[in-house]
A and B are shown apart, each in its own frame.
Chain A
Amino acid sequence: MDTVAAEGLLSSAWLVVALPLAGAAVLLLGGRRTDRWGHLLGTATVVVAFVVGLLCTVQLAGSDQRSVDVDLFTFVSAGSLDVQAGLLVDPLSATFVLLITGVGALIHVYSIGYMAHDPRRRRFFAYLNLFVAAMLLLVLGDNYVALYVGWEGVGLASYLLIAFWHERPAAATAAKKAFIMNRVGDVGLALAIFVMFAQLGTVSYEGVFGGVGALAGGTVTAIGLLLLLGACGKSGQFPLQAWLPDAMEGPTPVSALIHAATMVTAGVYLIARSAPIYDLTPTARTVVLAVGAVTLLIGAIAGCAYDDIKKVLAYSTVSQIGYMFLAVGLGPVGYAAGIAHLLTHGFFKAGLFLGAGSVMHAMDDQVDMRRFGGLARELPVTFVTFGLGYLALIGFPFLSGYWTKDAIIEAALDRGGTSGWLLGAVAVVGAGLTAFYMTRLMLMTFLGRPRWTDDVHPHESPSVMTAPMVVLSIGSVAAGFLLVNLFPLDEWLAPVFGAPEEAAHVVAPAVVGIVVTAVMLVGVLAAWLFVGRREIPVVAPSRVSPVTRAARKALYADTVNESLFMRPGQWLTRALVWVDNRGVDGAVNGLAATLGGSSSRLGRAQTGFVRSYALGMLGGAVLVAGALLAVTAG
């Protein structure tokens, strides 16, 4: 893959990042003056960025050079370290740019309506713009440091947006938790960059991918695992998944944009982008597979037990990203499949979240599904768009999820051997669970009899909110077919991942399709049996099986984190404070006290009696005279 300097429109690709950043700056610094039109400016910058991104992509598609570097300025150059601020436009980053700006623009539009009554709407748009800028930098950077800058930048935006209603302690705590757990992952990413620099002397993609082949296998595996740690933090994968459901404390458009469609998929991007590294280290790839498979199940199981509509969707996101990790962990056969699922997931999950937001908007911001029911009639547009997203997610035949999820399951089975069957089985079971919890969500929310609290009067959302939902639902329906059959994504991404090869299928694709569909239908049926045909109690039953109890606690992830890290950490902190005050400072103060004490004790010799002083003087004089005599005489 040769990278050339940018020309034409591509040389202004930096505008894609700069526009939202400028928007954020204007809105944050402008203060109240910009209150009236702030949301419009915020939306406009993202829309224009989308247009610029689209034009860039068109130019890229039209030229032979599929990898274009836009060098901006020298960021840091000291000793042998040289980090350039540069952008890399290639099929992979262009795809992400379109996803981020496209879905981002839609969610900006939606937010105009959703946040209409919030006195701090301007600031909300500023943060959203900041997020879009950081995310674009993340995917467009041409070296790992630029990626890292964007990586932590989205972490900041995520923090600000989760804590947007910071008067609520839960929101503030969730934001902090998200940032800290992300930082744990960031340590991995940072260390990976350090190793690259120490071993290769460079941090640019070009240099690293060019030189990584010469490194020892263990070093490459170390880099791969460290990158994976970073990816796990950002993407809410096991063992760093616990922050993502809590992040739902943020406003719903935030959940849709950041915690479903874009930011949390950055981990998948990182692994896909680092494909040349992972290609060399089967060990690290195996760990990626394991992480993906475990998370897929954890997310799906927890999703079955929650009653909070946004948390169910959040665990669904965790689970779906598990699929993506599984795909990219498979190596060259899976990269394109993973990215394809990432894109379709971006459409339908964003649509689902916006739908959930619309439901909450109608229900006075309640999120407890046990208090919903029968909303299909009151919210027809929401119901239809949400329903299409639902069908796409569970993999209803010929909708988006069907194409991309099946591709992943096929790729897993094609791996062959025990591990292939195991991974395939996990993925199929995950599909069944997905169908179960999503059907449960649909049944509890839109169907059945209303179980509303007394004071709610559901009403359909304004068109500024429903329009983006409609667009996204069209995407949920069509994107999969388009990306797999009409404009094959694997061919478009071939310059990055290598040409797609026709794998020898272990199981015929048609069989896989039928099996997955059957399992999906079993899941739907089970949901109807457990939830749909009986009355749903408005209070969650407390006498439940241990399995349900564990699922309600998300398999005790928080409990483990608290008892393993938080409490010992607090204990350690308290102990160290004591040590510092009593031990270290105590030693110093003790020394001072000893000196002071001994001097006051010596001071007792000053009795105030003149005659004893005189005796002292005489004694001293005798002593001196004696000494003199002894010296001169001796």
Chain B
Amino acid sequence: MTLTYYLVLAAILFTIGAVGVLVRRNAIVVFMCVELMLNSVNLTLVTFARATGTVDGQIMAFFVMVVAAAEVVVGLAIIMSIYRTRRSASVDDANLLKY
């Protein structure tokens, strides 16, 4: 079935995103990887919505997009302010919040 291709693609995208989050230090890249994961999930949602013939998955995908948009705004703002104070976009440099 064609469904499988979509799901495999989503899984590949998700994996790329997850690995990217884990291995890259640049905050912008990490951020984009997060977006990649979100969108891979969206793809899955839409795929299943199509398969079951309901709109629930599509509605959910819209939700994710809205939240992701809001997240981009807040996240970029945070990255900007971190970059301004630390002159670095590396997430490993922002490690003050610990034990």
A adjacent to B, CB under 8 Å: yes
CB B95 to nearest CB in A, in angstroms, measures 3
| Chain A residues positioned under 8 Å from B25 (CB to CB) | 611
Which stretch from A204-212, A393-401, A589-597, A602-610 is at the chain B interface?
A602-610
Known: A610-B94, A611-B91, A611-B92. A600 touches B99 (CB 8 A): yes
| Chain A residues positioned under 8 Å from B98 (CB to CB) | 606-608
Known: A603-B99, A604-B99. A610 touches B22 (CB 8 A): no
In the complex, which of the residues A600, A603, A608, A615 contacts B97, with contact meaning CB atoms closer than 8 Å? A608
For residue B7, CB closer than 8 A to chain A, the reply is no
Interface residues of B in 50-99 (CB under 8 A from A): 91-92, 94-99
For residue B21, CB closer than 8 A to chain A, the reply is yes
1/0 per residue A297-330: CB within 8 Å of B?
0000000000000000000000000000000000
CB A579 to nearest CB in B, in angstroms, measures 37
In the complex, which of the residues B22, B94, B99 contacts A606, with contact meaning CB atoms closer than 8 Å? B99
For residue B28, CB closer than 8 A to chain A, the reply is no
| Chain B residues positioned under 8 Å from A610 (CB to CB) | 30, 91-92, 94-95
With A and B bound together, what is the CA distance between A377 and B24 in angstroms? 118
1/0 per residue B23-47: CB within 8 Å of A?
1010000100000000000000000
Q: A608 and B21: CB pair below 8 A?
A: no
| Chain B residues positioned under 8 Å from A607 (CB to CB) | 95, 98-99
| Chain B residues positioned under 8 Å from A606 (CB to CB) | 98-99
Number of chain B interface residues as a range: 10 to 19
With A and B bound together, what is the CA distance between A605 and B96 in angstroms? 14
For residue A540, CB closer than 8 A to chain B, the reply is no
For residue A618, CB closer than 8 A to chain B, the reply is yes
Q: How many residues of A contact B (CB 8 A)?
A: 13
Q: Whose C-beta in chain B lies nearest to the C-beta of A602?
A: B99
With A and B bound together, what is the CA distance between A608 and B25 in angstroms? 14
1/0 per residue A614-628: CB within 8 Å of B?
110010000000000
Interface residues of A in 500-527 (CB under 8 A from B): none
With A and B bound together, what is the CA distance between A540 and B54 in angstroms? 119
For residue B11, CB closer than 8 A to chain A, the reply is no
In the complex, which of the residues B22, B96, B97, B99 contacts A611, with contact meaning CB atoms closer than 8 Å? B22
With A and B bound together, what is the CA distance between A618 and B34 in angstroms? 12
CB A620 to nearest CB in B, in angstroms, measures 13
| Chain A residues positioned under 8 Å from B22 (CB to CB) | 611, 614-615, 618
Q: Whose C-beta in chain B lies nearest to the C-beta of A603?
A: B99
For residue B18, CB closer than 8 A to chain A, the reply is yes
CB A117 to nearest CB in B, in angstroms, measures 76
Q: B21 and A611: CB pair below 8 A?
A: yes
Q: A618 and B99: CB pair below 8 A?
A: no
| Chain B residues positioned under 8 Å from A608 (CB to CB) | 95-99
| Chain B residues positioned under 8 Å from A605 (CB to CB) | 99
Q: Whose C-beta in chain B lies nearest to the C-beta of A614?
A: B21
| Chain A residues positioned under 8 Å from B92 (CB to CB) | 609-611
Q: Whose C-beta in chain A lies nearest to the C-beta of B34?
A: A614
CB B66 to nearest CB in A, in angstroms, measures 22
With A and B bound together, what is the CA distance between A610 and B96 in angstroms? 11
**Which residue of B21, B22, B94, B99 has the most chain A CB atoms within 10 A of its CB atom?**
B99
With A and B bound together, what is the CA distance between A614 and B18 in angstroms? 9
CB B10 to nearest CB in A, in angstroms, measures 14
With A and B bound together, what is the CA distance between A618 and B95 in angstroms? 20
| Chain A residues positioned under 8 Å from B21 (CB to CB) | 611, 614
User: B interface vs A, CB < 8 Å?
Assistant: 18, 21-23, 25, 30, 91-92, 94-99
9 extra interface residue pairs, beta carbon distance < 8 Å, beyond A610-B92, A618-B22: A605-B99, A607-B98, A608-B97, A608-B98, A608-B99, A609-B95, A611-B22, A611-B25, A618-B18
